[in-house]
Amino acid sequence: PPFDQRDGVIWFNGALTPWREAKLHVLSHGLHYASAVFEGERAYGGKIFKSREHSERFRRSAQLLDFEIPYSVAELEAAKDAVVKANGMQDCYVRPIAWRGSEMMAVAAQNSTIHTAIAVWDWPSMFDVETKMKGIRLDIAEYRRPDPRTEPSLAKAAGLYMICTISKHRAERRGYADALMYDWLGRVAECTGANVFFVKDGALHTPIADCFLDGITRQTVIELAKRRGVAVFERRIMPEELTGFSECFICGTGAEVTPVSEAGPYRFEPGALSRQLIEDYTRETHRHSEG
Ligand code: PMP
């Protein structure tokens, strides 16, 4: 069913609300001027992975958009747990969102109420390991991640997803699973909802996350690789260099770790390190839910 017509409850401004009643008015600043920030998280075995990190990023994203989420990290943690539980979920996706309300409807909206909601839904792992190991195909996006001087790059802000949706639609229209986006200087950046890594001579290479989202999965993968003694280079990567990498994978809360077989003209062979990191990431997310 469509997302507004489901059973269950949504945490809405502090209360568990019947799913279909969690509505907002059409004259909401968040809708017209994109004064909205959100998170995307996953629960494994009823426990949200890296929940605190997501709550902290959620509050930081709002601050970058000049508003304050009216709940502390501790309150957000309790609210997320409550909504996962109230919906009887074990493995699910968790979507907190905060936006400016309707008191002011112009660019300036300092006195608007900040609304906060948290929904959860079933979103199974996109692929099993064997399917994943074939690798997905990436288009090259026509839009680039903007110069960090032109927008708050590190915020998970609704407005920044306009470029991602356009790029993802174009990629799917052309038969690809997703699009690889370059940054404003033409360097490799990320995908439309996931970060990207490359493998060369047993080491990981990934772009520096200073003009796009520094994913919590990205940080986890870096830590998992280092734990295995794998060297990790966060550096500028030009598209021409992609011919020199043997493996490529994307990672994010939704995508988890997903190998890539091609990106535009560049070809990769999903291999041993990708497989190892898929296993490590799966173990890490499940270990956390048992611990
Ligand atoms: N980049 C973009 C544009 C994303 O939407 C996401 C998913 N939130 C990511 C990267 C990965 O972030 P995370 O690992 O925190 O989910």
Best residue among 213, 249, 284 to mutate for probing ligand 1's pocket (most ligand atoms within 8 Å of CB) is 213
Q: Where residue 290 falls among pLDDT bands split at 50, 70, 90?
A: confident
* Among protein residues, the one whose CA lies closest to atom 7 of ligand 1: 193
Instruction: Could you list the beta-strand ranges (E) of 158-274.
Output: 178-182, 188-191, 195-200, 203-206, 232-234, 247-252, 256-263, 266-267
Question: What's the complex ipTM?
Answer: 0.99
Say whether pTM exceeds 0.95: yes
Same domain? For 142 and 274 the reply is yes
Q: What is the per-residue pLDDT across 12-57, written as a single tens digit (0 to 9) for each?
A: 999 999 999 999 999 999 999 999 999 999 999 999 999 999 999 9
Same domain? For 162 and 266 the reply is yes
User: What separation in Å is there between the alpha carbon of 254 and the centre of ligand 1?
Assistant: 8
Q: Residue 63 is part of which domain span?
A: 9-121
Q: Where residue 287 falls among pLDDT bands split at 50, 70, 90?
A: confident
Instruction: Report whether 225 contacts 201 (CB < 8 A).
Output: no
User: What separation in Å is there between the alpha carbon of 47 and the centre of ligand 1?
Assistant: 19
* Cβ-proximal residues to 290 (8 Å cutoff; 6+ apart), any chain: 45
**End-to-end Cα, the chain, rounded Å:** 34
Instruction: Report whether 267 contacts 215 (CB < 8 A).
Output: no
User: What separation in Å is there between the alpha carbon of 130 and the centre of ligand 1?
Assistant: 23
Angle of helix 51-64 versus helix 216-227 axis, rounded to 10: 140
Same domain? For 162 and 95 the reply is no
Which sequence positions are flagged as catalytic?
156
The reported pLDDT for the residue numbered 291 is 57
Same domain? For 158 and 201 the reply is yes
> Does position 176 have pLDDT exceeding 80, yes or no?
yes
Q: What is the per-residue pLDDT across 93-148, written as a single tens digit (0 to 9) for each?
A: 999 999 999 999 999 999 999 999 999 999 988 777 888 889 999 999 999 999 99
User: What separation in Å is there between the alpha carbon of 250 and the centre of ligand 1?
Assistant: 10
Same domain? For 241 and 264 the reply is yes
CATH code for the domain in which residue 159 is found: 3.20.10.10
Q: What is the per-residue pLDDT across 233-265, written as a single tens digit (0 to 9) for each?
A: 999 999 999 999 999 999 999 999 999 999 999
User: What separation in Å is there between the alpha carbon of 29 and the centre of ligand 1?
Assistant: 24
Same domain? For 260 and 196 the reply is yes
* Among protein residues, the one whose CA lies closest to atom 10 of ligand 1: 194
Please report the atom of ligand 1 found closest to the CA of residue 220. 14
Q: What's the CA gap between 290 and 22, in Å, rounded?
A: 32
* Cβ-proximal residues to 19 (8 Å cutoff; 6+ apart), any chain: 6, 7, 8, 9, 10, 119
* Among protein residues, the one whose CA lies closest to atom 5 of ligand 1: 193
For residues 259-285, average pLDDT? 97
CATH code for the domain in which residue 70 is found: 3.30.470.10
Copy the structure tokens of residue 55. Answer: 């709550």
Please report the atom of ligand 1 found closest to the CA of residue 41. 16
Q: What is the per-residue pLDDT across 89-102, written as a single tens digit (0 to 9) for each?
A: 999 999 999 999 99
Best residue among 156, 162, 214 to mutate for probing ligand 1's pocket (most ligand atoms within 8 Å of CB) is 156
Q: What is the per-residue pLDDT across 196-217, written as a single tens digit (0 to 9) for each?
A: 999 999 999 999 999 999 999 9
Q: Is 4 a domain residue?
A: no
Domain boundary among 103, 121, 139: 121
Residues with CB under 6 A from ligand 1: 40, 164, 190, 193-195, 213, 215-218, 252-253
Same domain? For 81 and 19 the reply is yes
Task: Please name which of 189, 193, 224 lies closest in space to residue 50, comparing C-alpha atoms.
Answer: 224
Q: Is 2 a domain residue?
A: no
Domain boundary among 75, 100, 121: 121
Same domain? For 166 and 187 the reply is yes
Number of folded domains in the chain?
A: 2
Domain boundary among 100, 121, 142: 121
